[in-house]
Amino acid sequence: MPAPIQVMYAESMVLPLGEGLNVVRGGAGLGVRCDCGHDFCASDRNWKMHAVVHEFLPDIEGFYRGWRGREVP
C-alpha cells in the first residue's frame, strides 16, 4: 500500500484528482488545488480553464534524430 500523500497546506484533502492535484475543503468550500498550494477554481468547474498554458513548439527533428535515432517519418 502506498504511503499517504503529504501536502504543504492545512486544508483537508477531499479527493485526489491526479498527480499533484487535489480537491480540498477551504474557507470558500470545495476547490481544486495543486500540491504547491495554488488554487485553480471551485471543484465544480474545469480547472484546466484556469491553468496558465505556455506556448509549446515541439522540436520534431530533435525528438526523432536525437531521442529516437531515426529520421522523421
Q: pLDDT for 24-70, tens place per residue?
A: 998 889 999 998 889 999 999 999 999 988 878 889 999 999 999 99
39, 33 contact by CB (below 8 A): yes
Q: What integer pLDDT is reported at residue 3 of this predicted model?
A: 61
DSSP bridge partners of 24: 13, 31
Q: Has residue 8 got a pLDDT over 80? A: no
What pLDDT is attached to residue 4? 59
Distance CA 40, CA 31 (A): 7
Q: What's the CA gap between 23 and 12, in Å, rounded?
A: 9
3-state secondary structure of 67: helix
- Please tell me the pTM assigned to this model: 0.64
pLDDT at 19 over 80: yes
**Sheet containing strand 21-26, strands side by side:** 12-18, 21-26, 29-34, 39-42
